[in-house]
Chains A and B, each alone.
Chain A
Amino acid sequence: MKDRYANRKFVIMALVLLTAVILLVRLFYIQIVDKTYRVSAANNALRPVTQYPARGLIYDRNGELIVYNQAAYDLLVIPVQTSAFDTVRFNEILGITMDDFRARMKTAVSYSRRTPSVFMKMISSETYAILQEELYLFPGFYVQARTLRKYTRPVAAHLLGYVGEVDNKLLAKDRYYRSGDYIGVSGIEKSYEEQLRGAKGVNIFLVDVHNNIKGSYAEGRYDTVAVPGTNLWSTIDLTLQEYGERLMQNKTGSIVAIEPATGEILTLVSSPTYDPSLLVGRIRSENFQILQADTIKPLFDRALMASYPPGSTFKIMNGLIGLQEAVIRPTSLFSCSNGYHAGALTVGCHSHRSPLNLPEAVAQSCNAWFCNAFRSILENPEYSSVQDAFDKWREYLVAFGFGNKLGIDLPNELSGFIPARSYYDRYYGKDRWKALTVISLAIGQGEIGATPLQMANMAAVIANRGSFYIPHVVKKIGEQGAPSPLYTQKYITGISPENFEPVIEGMEGAVNGGEGSTARGARLDSIIICGKTGTAQNPHGRDHSIFVAFAPKENPQIAIAVYVENAGFGSTFAAPIASLMIEKYLTGKIKRKYLEDHVLRMVLRPDGEE
């Protein structure tokens, strides 16, 4: 069939060219002739303004406010949206130099040209007021409201922690955070970051070339509402905390007080400390450097992160384990002739009446008695070897929370150290060590370490006669909230309640007994305090003074551990401080002004010089 319509291809070809011409003419018009679209595009700049929620407030156990927020302003810049402006005036307002300006701009550009970054943090309200008026002169810049932490009293710095800027490592890992965001860096601020921070919101605005907000982008379809952070109710008694910090001033050490029935921490003092408001806002990094460089290490949280040998306070543990293993009885008598002697080995002791039973040995802290008891534990014929008995002994300690992190709701807790069988095997050869090899453990010295928190927990276990809740610092997350479920679970230590009684009797005697009792300085007329002194050997200087206690004897309300570094015997310094804390907490006031004055006057330098 002949193709009669071949010529139609020319019409079709013309059609192709016609469409191309139509499109090109139209494009030429809108892209080159008509300038209005370029203006519209400039009006189309988007500005995401993050709505920072107020961080959750923190209250103490009595509902007293500890931490709240105040307004602050950050100056942000989106580099691509900037254009030539009067930098001289700009720098004048902000009080920065041209070099400083260039450096800040460079940092912002290197972070991202398109997304906002902080140009200047936390500008003052006065600067903000001036800047806000002239902001239209500086396209690409805008101000974002932030909140800063504020403290009702200059206390509990370690416990509360501080808020800092997110670092680049976290920025890469967690997509919630953007450069310049704040995050809890330590203390409760860190461990409860997710609850405290709330959820950021964002409002996306359209802004024009004059830096004026023209309205909400896409009718707010992409906006999100900020959700304020959750308030926390701490277990801390703020008054007691403040009092503890006052007692510890000019001394190095820590105080940990726990409510035994719940595991709630009443006080967490680490001394030396600092005013938490030093680490807020623009002064933070500068102050942080100063604090970090300080030789007395005020940033170091001794309550959680210092591990000391428990010293004589540990005798309580050996007494309890011996009773539970039935290798000693409350009435067991061991004699002491100024110490424990076994062959060439001697563990010295002070002069006291001999022989003693268990309560007396606790009250008078007899080394010989506990060396005997410890040897009985390890040489228990129930077990095939000393090593097996040692494993069992260690098991009890672990059940008390020694040798591992307790799991407090604060970061950076130390686990302390309880040597395992393998530890000695490595030193002495497998199973080639005896009870006498490790006899220093009987009196809490040697290769053993516990944090003040663990010691306070031990006091709580004794107060509870065998059980405990993991110590924690937050009792309510949100107004109607509960603590984390971790802290409502009861732990049993494996020591029967009746075995606590003779030990508690001894602790009562240590404080309230007659001659030879080690902690009579802690005695309180109205309330029976049960306590035990200790001295942690310090290879670097004077020994550390330790005291663990709980009160009252029946239905205990407070369990406490006090450490005073380089103070010598436990009875001299730690015991009176613990006693004052107990008095303050249980009676609300201090009757023994002389004791308080005595403690307040004590100045102990870390180097051991008084």
Chain B
Amino acid sequence: MEKSNNILLRLDWVTVILWLVMMVMGWLNIYAAVYNEQHTSIFDLSQRYGKQLIFIIAALVLAILVMVTDNKLWFFFAWFIYGFFILLLVLVLVIGKEINGAKAWFGVGAFSIQPSEFAKFATGLALASFLNSRRQLFGAREMIAATAIIVAPMLLIVLQPDMGSVITYLAFFIVLYREGMSIWVFITAILAVVLFLLTLIFGNLPVAIGLLIVAAIALLITSGFMPAIRAAGVMALAGAVAYFTGHYLLDLGLVLIIVIAVFLAGIVYAWYIYRQKLKNQAIIYIFLLGGLLYLFTVDYAFYNVLKPHQQTRINIMLGMETDPFGEGYNLNQSLISIGSGGFAGKGYLNGTQTKFKFVPEQSTDFIFCTVGEEWGFIGSAVVIGLFVWLLLRLLILAERQRTTFVRAYGYGVFGLFLVHFFVNIGMTIGVMPVIGIPLPFFSYGGSSLWGFTILLFIFLRLDAGRTEYLG
């Protein structure tokens, strides 16, 4: 049977239709969010909904342009494209336009373009190219190189600073996971996050004591009763020394004293472990010490590196702080508007909360408020359903690829959509801290819409040509 060369027949129309439906729904919700009685026409170009229509039309054009490219272009020029956008990210720091305190935009006439939205697909391509070219399994060298590819744009975006965009780049670690990155990286990361949150909630002393208890139990289980008692004895001795010197002579805090005690105990114990080749005890010890050091730095970093508003946002999400008129205003109003939507919503254009502009940024980052208020739980579930459908579809497409290049790129696209979807909606309903990132295809704005469209359609183009030989 002859295979059709017609790109239209091989294009994944399910994804294309999902993309179109999401854009139209986004447009209608932007209309509702910024509804203005003086400008009731949805085509009014002086209003955001009129402008969004132009962005959508431009996105259609962009999609078509991407579809007529050759797959080899993306494969061979992946590094070139990556380099180009890295350069743009450098350039924006120099000649960029500052909006809301971030030098993240190039001003082009009346429009502004955000290069960090476009650097995403470039990073995805470069990462895919790297993973495709490796000759061995995923080891430490691969890990370091891949991390460098991901972190380079992140560092440049930190300088803008646009913390929201930075976080979305973490999505690329999903690609690494799929391509064989050690599971321990994730376990460590998850442990780190858990420790971080526990520290913020309970303070570092209880968590440090908790770590000691966990280590003792682990030791008891893995090594038996006597070694555990022996280790505890050494620990107690080191603790006593550390406490008397640290507390009375140096006036150190308790957590630091515990760290020093564990460290001292380790030195004393080291030769014994080495002689007896006690691998289990060594691992437990390293985790204990690492955990304590991490604990100590987290505490420091949270209060000294993060800005006050970022601290507050995290605290609010953890329920440790309420600030309905300051930093918590957005979240509070967002919860009210979504929560008041009820089961079936208040009806299109009948939202009282969004209409009276209680929620700031409701056409951009908080567009989901309009969905939640006017369409209720049903509408919210439909939007979530659409995203799940899109994400699963992308997974299927990625998995049917013959080359690591396309699969890895597909996972990058998937990962970015997953992070945007979960973090954006999560922040509007209080399961994520307030991080200013758009909801793909829904939020108002040309840069994000075009960035996501290019990101998606490069993958669809690669998928449509998956039988072609890339070289």
The stretch of B45-53, B55-63, B302-310, B375-383 that contacts the partner chain: B375-383
The stretch of B195-203, B221-229, B334-342 that contacts the partner chain: B334-342
User: Bound complex: CA of A31 vs CA of B375, how far in Å?
Assistant: 11
User: Bound complex: CA of A36 vs CA of B332, how far in Å?
Assistant: 12
| Chain B 101-128 interface mask (CB, 8 Å, partner A; 1/0) | 0000000000000000000000000000
Which residues of chain B have C-beta atoms less than 8 A from A45's C-beta?
352, 356
User: Bound complex: CA of A42 vs CA of B341, how far in Å?
Assistant: 12
Q: Are A23 and B425 in contact (CB under 8 A)?
A: yes
Residue A102 CB within 8 A of the other chain: no
The stretch of B89-97, B171-179, B248-256 that contacts the partner chain: B171-179
Residue A591 CB within 8 A of the other chain: no
- Which residues of A (65-111) have their CB < 8 Å from a CB of B? 80
Contact among A1, A16, A31, A175 with B372 in the assembled complex (CB-CB below 8 Å): A31
Q: Are B356 and A12 in contact (CB under 8 A)?
A: no
Q: Are A9 and B395 in contact (CB under 8 A)?
A: yes
| Chain B 251-278 interface mask (CB, 8 Å, partner A; 1/0) | 0000000000000000000000000000
Contact among B174, B335, B388, B430 with A12 in the assembled complex (CB-CB below 8 Å): B174
| Chain B 128-145 interface mask (CB, 8 Å, partner A; 1/0) | 000000000100000000
Q: Are B180 and A31 in contact (CB under 8 A)?
A: no
Q: Are B376 and A30 in contact (CB under 8 A)?
A: no
Contact A38-B174, Cβ < 8 Å, known A12-B395, A112-B37: no
Q: Are A13 and B426 in contact (CB under 8 A)?
A: no
Q: Are A20 and B388 in contact (CB under 8 A)?
A: yes
CB of A208, distance to nearest CB on chain B (Å): 13
Contact among A16, A37, A114 with B388 in the assembled complex (CB-CB below 8 Å): A16
Residue B6 CB within 8 A of the other chain: no
Residue A213 CB within 8 A of the other chain: no
Residue A486 CB within 8 A of the other chain: no
User: Bound complex: CA of A13 vs CA of B398, how far in Å?
Assistant: 12
User: Bound complex: CA of A23 vs CA of B418, how far in Å?
Assistant: 12
| Chain A 487-527 interface mask (CB, 8 Å, partner B; 1/0) | 00000000000000000000000000000000000000000
Which residues of chain B have C-beta atoms less than 8 A from A175's C-beta?
38
Residue A115 CB within 8 A of the other chain: yes
Which residues of chain B have C-beta atoms less than 8 A from A46's C-beta?
356, 358
Q: Are A27 and B377 in contact (CB under 8 A)?
A: yes
Q: Are B178 and A40 in contact (CB under 8 A)?
A: no
User: Bound complex: CA of A401 vs CA of B178, how far in Å?
Assistant: 92
Contact A44-B180, Cβ < 8 Å, known A31-B376, A32-B343, A38-B342: no
Contact among B179, B376, B431 with A5 in the assembled complex (CB-CB below 8 Å): B179
- Which residues of A (122-141) have their CB < 8 Å from a CB of B? none
Residue A383 CB within 8 A of the other chain: no
Residue A289 CB within 8 A of the other chain: no
Which residues of chain A have C-beta atoms less than 8 A from B387's C-beta?
20
The B interface is mostly helix, strand or loop, or mixed, namely: helix
Q: Which residue on A lies nearest to B355, using beta carbons?
A: A114
Contact among A1, A9, A42 with B178 in the assembled complex (CB-CB below 8 Å): A9
Residue B325 CB within 8 A of the other chain: yes
Residue B75 CB within 8 A of the other chain: no
User: Bound complex: CA of A105 vs CA of B353, how far in Å?
Assistant: 24
Residue B19 CB within 8 A of the other chain: no
User: Bound complex: CA of A5 vs CA of B137, how far in Å?
Assistant: 11
Q: Which residue on B lies nearest to A222, using beta carbons?
A: B357
- Which residues of A (2-32) have their CB < 8 Å from a CB of B? 4-6, 8-9, 12-13, 15-17, 19-20, 22-24, 26-28, 30-32
User: Bound complex: CA of A38 vs CA of B339, how far in Å?
Assistant: 6
Residue A41 CB within 8 A of the other chain: yes
Contact among B37, B340, B430 with A40 in the assembled complex (CB-CB below 8 Å): B340
Which residues of chain A have C-beta atoms less than 8 A from B414's C-beta?
12
Residue A610 CB within 8 A of the other chain: no
Range of interface residues on B (Cβ < 8 Å): 35 or more
- Which residues of B (393-417) have their CB < 8 Å from a CB of A? 395, 399, 404, 411, 414
- Which residues of B (421-439) have their CB < 8 Å from a CB of A? 421-422, 425-426, 429-431
Q: Are A5 and B178 in contact (CB under 8 A)?
A: yes
Residue B384 CB within 8 A of the other chain: yes
Q: Which residue on A lies nearest to B380, using beta carbons?
A: A27
Residue A219 CB within 8 A of the other chain: yes
Contact among B179, B336, B377, B384 with A41 in the assembled complex (CB-CB below 8 Å): B336
Q: Are B422 and A44 in contact (CB under 8 A)?
A: no
Residue B392 CB within 8 A of the other chain: yes
Residue A34 CB within 8 A of the other chain: yes
Contact among B179, B338, B355, B404 with A27 in the assembled complex (CB-CB below 8 Å): B338
Contact among A13, A31, A36, A112 with B341 in the assembled complex (CB-CB below 8 Å): A31
User: Bound complex: CA of A497 vs CA of B325, how far in Å?
Assistant: 76
Q: Are B337 and A8 in contact (CB under 8 A)?
A: no
Which residues of chain A have C-beta atoms less than 8 A from B391's C-beta?
16
Q: Are B384 and A26 in contact (CB under 8 A)?
A: no
Q: Are B377 and A28 in contact (CB under 8 A)?
A: yes
Q: Are A40 and B336 in contact (CB under 8 A)?
A: yes
| Chain B 173-209 interface mask (CB, 8 Å, partner A; 1/0) | 0100111100000000000000000000000000000
Q: Are A17 and B388 in contact (CB under 8 A)?
A: yes
User: Bound complex: CA of A45 vs CA of B38, how far in Å?
Assistant: 21
Contact among B337, B381, B392 with A24 in the assembled complex (CB-CB below 8 Å): B381
Q: Which residue on B lies nearest to A10, using beta carbons?
A: B395
Contact among A8, A19, A38 with B177 in the assembled complex (CB-CB below 8 Å): A8
User: Bound complex: CA of A8 vs CA of B178, how far in Å?
Assistant: 6
Q: Are A23 and B422 in contact (CB under 8 A)?
A: yes
Which residues of chain A have C-beta atoms less than 8 A from B430's C-beta?
26, 30
User: Bound complex: CA of A38 vs CA of B342, how far in Å?
Assistant: 8
CB of B146, distance to nearest CB on chain A (Å): 14
Contact among B339, B384, B385, B411 with A30 in the assembled complex (CB-CB below 8 Å): B339
User: Bound complex: CA of A19 vs CA of B358, how far in Å?
Assistant: 27
CB of A178, distance to nearest CB on chain B (Å): 11
Q: Are B377 and A32 in contact (CB under 8 A)?
A: yes
Of B137, B339, B376, B395, which is in contact with the most chain A CB atoms at under 10 Å from its CB? B339
Which residues of chain A have C-beta atoms less than 8 A from B337's C-beta?
41
User: Bound complex: CA of A1 vs CA of B180, how far in Å?
Assistant: 12
User: Bound complex: CA of A38 vs CA of B352, how far in Å?
Assistant: 11
| Chain B 143-166 interface mask (CB, 8 Å, partner A; 1/0) | 000000000000000000000000
User: Bound complex: CA of A15 vs CA of B38, how far in Å?
Assistant: 45
Which residues of chain A have C-beta atoms less than 8 A from B388's C-beta?
16-17, 20
Q: Which residue on B lies nearest to A112, using beta carbons?
A: B37
CB of A544, distance to nearest CB on chain B (Å): 51
Q: Are B372 and A27 in contact (CB under 8 A)?
A: yes
Q: Are B392 and A13 in contact (CB under 8 A)?
A: yes
User: Bound complex: CA of A15 vs CA of B343, how far in Å?
Assistant: 26
User: Bound complex: CA of A175 vs CA of B338, how far in Å?
Assistant: 33
Q: Are A13 and B37 in contact (CB under 8 A)?
A: no
Q: Which residue on B lies nearest to A43, using beta carbons?
A: B336
Which residues of chain B have C-beta atoms less than 8 A from A28's C-beta?
377
Contact A32-B342, Cβ < 8 Å, known A23-B429, A114-B37: yes
Q: Which residue on B lies nearest to A46, using beta carbons?
A: B356
Q: Are B342 and A44 in contact (CB under 8 A)?
A: no
Which residues of chain B have C-beta atoms less than 8 A from A32's C-beta?
342-343, 377
Q: Which residue on B lies nearest to A31, using beta carbons?
A: B377
Contact among B137, B342, B380, B418 with A19 in the assembled complex (CB-CB below 8 Å): B418
Q: Are A13 and B380 in contact (CB under 8 A)?
A: no
Q: Are A23 and B339 in contact (CB under 8 A)?
A: no
Q: Are A30 and B395 in contact (CB under 8 A)?
A: no
- Which residues of B (319-342) have their CB < 8 Å from a CB of A? 325, 333, 335-342
CB of A508, distance to nearest CB on chain B (Å): 64
| Extra contacts besides A8-B177, A23-B422 (10): CB < 8 Å | A4-B180, A8-B178, A19-B418, A20-B384, A30-B335, A31-B343, A31-B377, A37-B335, A41-B353, A44-B356
Provide 10 A-B residue pairs closer than 8 Å at the C-beta atoms, listed in order of the A residue.
Answer: A22-B422, A26-B426, A26-B430, A27-B372, A27-B381, A27-B429, A30-B430, A31-B343, A31-B376, A114-B37
Nearest 10 pairs between A and B by C-beta? A37-B339, A41-B340, A30-B339, A46-B356, A19-B422, A40-B336, A31-B377, A38-B340, A5-B180, A20-B388
